[in-house]
Amino acid sequence: MIEFYAPWCPACQQLQPVWKEFADWGDDMGVNIAKVDVTEQPGLSGRFIITSLPTIYHCKDGIFRKYQGARTKEDFLSFVDEQKWKSVEPVSSWFGPSSFLMNSMSALFKLSMFIRRCHNYMTEQLGIPVWGSYVIFGLATLFSGLALGLLLVFIADFVFPSRRFSSPDYYQSEFNAFQYVHLQTAH
């Protein structure tokens, strides 16, 4: 069982004593009980699509199920001991934490935290005003978009070259037009 929480969350703080008691029983039952601070592990919260706190998942043999029951030690124990988790629909393979989609979501969460750290460093350590940081990120976004777009155009032209320029007849017709123009201007 995994609990996703945040230190600032009142519902999470209220659950902590119950979760600790449950974790003590988990050792006796042979069940791993864990908790993840979403402020410290944004990648994991992205993989599991954590939209409310606290969120609890049951994991067995790589199959994840979201726990929706009451938040008492007895309910947690019966969920595991009586195998009530078998009646809960597993998380779809598309949205499983190890799927490509959730790996991408995790990367976006990590990127957002990196951008936040960069922003804080620029404003707090370097003394750049907040608007200056926004301008820097705006320009970086613009130029990286332009570079990626240009790269995509080069790749597309390499993979799918234009037929207009590959025909020998095209160059011959261009040469004939060029000669015609020069002959007309020479007379």
Residue count of the chain = 187
Single out the residue of 48, 37, 56, 55 nearest to residue 101, CA to CA.
48
CA distance 35 to 175: 74
Is residue 9 among the annotated active site residues?
A: yes
CA distance 136 to 16: 41
Which residues in 85-173 belong to E strands, given as ranges? none
Single out the residue of 68, 64, 67 nearest to residue 97, CA to CA.
64
- Give me the catalytic one of 2, 12, 80, 91: 12
Is residue 118 among the annotated active site residues?
A: no
Phi, psi angle pair for 52, to nearest 5°: -145, 155
> Six-digit token pair at 118?
């960069």
CA distance 56 to 34: 10
- Give me the catalytic one of 9, 18, 59, 113: 9
- Residues serving a catalytic function are 9, 12
